[in-house]
Structure formats: structure tokens, C-alpha cells
Amino acid sequence: MVRVMFRFDKETVDKPITSQVILEHSVPINILSAHMNQRGGEILAELDSRSAEKVIKAFREKGVTVDVRRLIEKDDELCVDCGGCVSICPMDALMFDEERSVILHEEKCNGVTCGLCVDACPQRALRLIG
């Protein structure tokens, strides 16, 4: 399963894009949460790993911003680079760089399906998105 965030703007929020993608590609999309109004909105959804790439491409072609990576957010103002999250992360998504700063490698992060790091942060600088 892949968790993604679809972001709709003023133009795309009025169109039935999600149902179009489901019908055109015969793929399941599991909607976990959705927040919409006339100005835009976002849908957090779970995609089948086998069809995820196809679905993401289809949404993007229809003008929707698809965010696959920002699943954990790190507040750099709060973070003191202590590393309390580093040993916990099973994906090596939270690592030190050469200057001993803690870097979030979003492409490796499992996001909401894991979330082990969130309550390990003494500064509460890590937050799940969605």
C-alpha cells in the first residue's frame, strides 16, 4: 500500500477527477480522509502498490498535485538535532548529515503506516500528516 496526498486547487476541485481515474483505470482507491471547499482541498488516500504509479500519473495529468513523500513533517525551528528519532526509524529516513544535523529523507519515509518516530521526539518536532 502507498499513502498519497492529492491536493486540489480552485480549478480542479470542481471536477470529478477521483471517480474518473477509478473508472478509466479500474483501480481501487481507498480514501482515508478528505477536506474540501470551493477554493480547493486535499484527499489522503491509500493506493495498491501495483497500480500506484499509474494512478499518480493519471491524477497529475488532470492537474492535481500529488504528494507521495511529505508524510512526516519535521519542524526545523523546534528540532535541536538531538537524534532521539534516529535509532527508532526502520527505514533510515531520519539520519545525521556530516554536520550532525538530523535530516528527514522524505522519499524513504513510510509515513502514517509507521509513525514510530513521532512520540520519540523530545521536542515534539515531528508530526504525521493526514
Binding residues (CB under 8 A) for other proteins: these are 80-89, 95-96, 99-101, 116, 119-120, 122-124
Query: Can you tell me the distance from the alpha carbon of 115 to that of 128, in angstroms, rounded to the nearest whole number?
Result: 7
CB atoms under 10 Å from CB of 2, counted, come to 18
Q: How far is the CB of 96 from other proteins (least distance, A)?
A: 7
Residue for cell digits 513533517? 73
Determine contact, residues 127/110, Cβ cutoff 8 Å.
no
Q: How far is the CB of 101 from other proteins (least distance, A)?
A: 6
- Cβ closest to other proteins, residue 21 vs residue 79: 79
Q: How far is the CB of 94 from other proteins (least distance, A)?
A: 9
